Amino acid sequence: MNDLKKLCMVTYGLYGISAVLQFFEATLLPGLLALVIAYILMRSKREEAKDTPYASHLQWMNRTFWIGTGVIVPVAVIIATVLVLTFTDITAVVTAMNGDNPDAMMGNIQGYIADNMKKVNMIVSFTLVPTVVWWMRRCWTGYALAKEGSPVENVTTWL
């Protein structure tokens, strides 16, 4: 059972690290890799954890993964896209897509990026911060309970 406790604590750590790394563009791929490794570790021990306090932790992490990647992140991306399209001038991109000259298209797209990068970064950060906070809260809650050897009481909650 001590091995399951360590597994849960390591997996919570990897989940937390992955959330932080994915928030920054330069470390997105290592963050995704940490998440995949944690998910595989967690899924591989489900049978072994049956009838232990750590079974609830593995279910909690599984739900964190699927709620986060299947619901919360896509909603955040949709909101960010709508905000970017609303608060930036995309006429240069539309013009570029309708043109026949590839060099002019690239120039227009690069101009759009140069003119709007601060706004886009601010919008994306604004929409992703709540996602990272949610993810980290679930990791911290689970980690603290696993460290005590206690099960997660309500694994079906979204919070």
Domain boundaries, the chain: 2-148
- Within a 13 Å sphere around the CA of 112, how many CA atoms are in the beta-carbon half? 20
Tens digit of pLDDT for each residue in 4-55? 999 999 999 999 999 889 877 788 899 999 999 999 999 999 999 999 999 9
State how far the Cα of 158 lies from the Cα of 60, in Å rounded to an integer: 10
pTM: 0.83
The b-or-e profile of 43-71 (16+ CB within 10 A means b, else e) is eebeeebeeebbbbbbbbbebbbebbeee
**32 touches 22 (CB < 8 A):** yes
pLDDT band at 1 (very low <50, low <70, confident <90, very high): low
Q: Provide the pLDDT for residue 8.
A: 94
Q: Provide the pLDDT for residue 64.
A: 94
φ, ψ dihedrals at 3, nearest 5°: -65, -40
Q: Provide the pLDDT for residue 61.
A: 95
**83 touches 125 (CB < 8 A):** no
Q: Provide the pLDDT for residue 143.
A: 95
The pLDDT of residue 57 is above 80: yes
Residue 145 carries which side chain, given as an amino acid letter? L
State how far the Cα of 61 lies from the Cα of 56, in Å rounded to an integer: 9
**26 touches 121 (CB < 8 A):** no
Q: Return the closest-CA partner of residue 119 out of 77, 78, 83.
A: 83
* 73-79: average pLDDT: 93
Q: Provide the pLDDT for residue 13.
A: 94
Mean pLDDT (the chain) is 90
Residue 136 carries which side chain, given as an amino acid letter? M
Contacts of 99 (CB under 8 A, 6+ apart): 105, 108
